[in-house]
Amino acid sequence: MTHGGKRLNAGRKVGSISSKTEDWINLKDFIINEGAERYTKYLKSLNDKDFADRYEAILNYFKPKHASAQVQNEISKETIIRVVRDAPKIK
């Protein structure tokens, strides 16, 4: 007699998923639909600096690091140049 034989109708049904898998599917659906809509509204309410910070943080999940640096440069194009005359000499 062999051990561990197959029983008829044992285990999960074909195509059924576990409750944990179903939870992950529901979370993914929330993130893609409702969560994305809410986050977009939130981003639109921010000032430029805060928007750039938040946008850069989430962009790193979708694009490589260098892409966020390019976006940061495009958002903050303001350059400040200070000219100081008669500054004391450093010894």
The per-residue pLDDT for range 45-61, each reduced to its tens digit, is: 999 999 988 888 888 77
Residue 27: the pLDDT is: 94
CA atoms within 13 Å, Cβ hemisphere of 7: 6
| pLDDT for the residue numbered 38 | 94
* Residue 71 structure tokens: 């976006």
DSSP 25-72: HHHHHHIIIIIHHHHHHHHHTS-HHHHHHHHHHHHTTTS-HHHHHHHH
Q: What is the mean pLDDT of residues 31-36?
A: 91
Does the pLDDT of residue 90 top 80, yes or no?
no
Q: Judge whether residue 1 has pLDDT over 80.
A: no
E strand or H helix at 74, and its extent? Answer: helix 65-75
With a cut of 80, say whether residue 85 has pLDDT above it. no
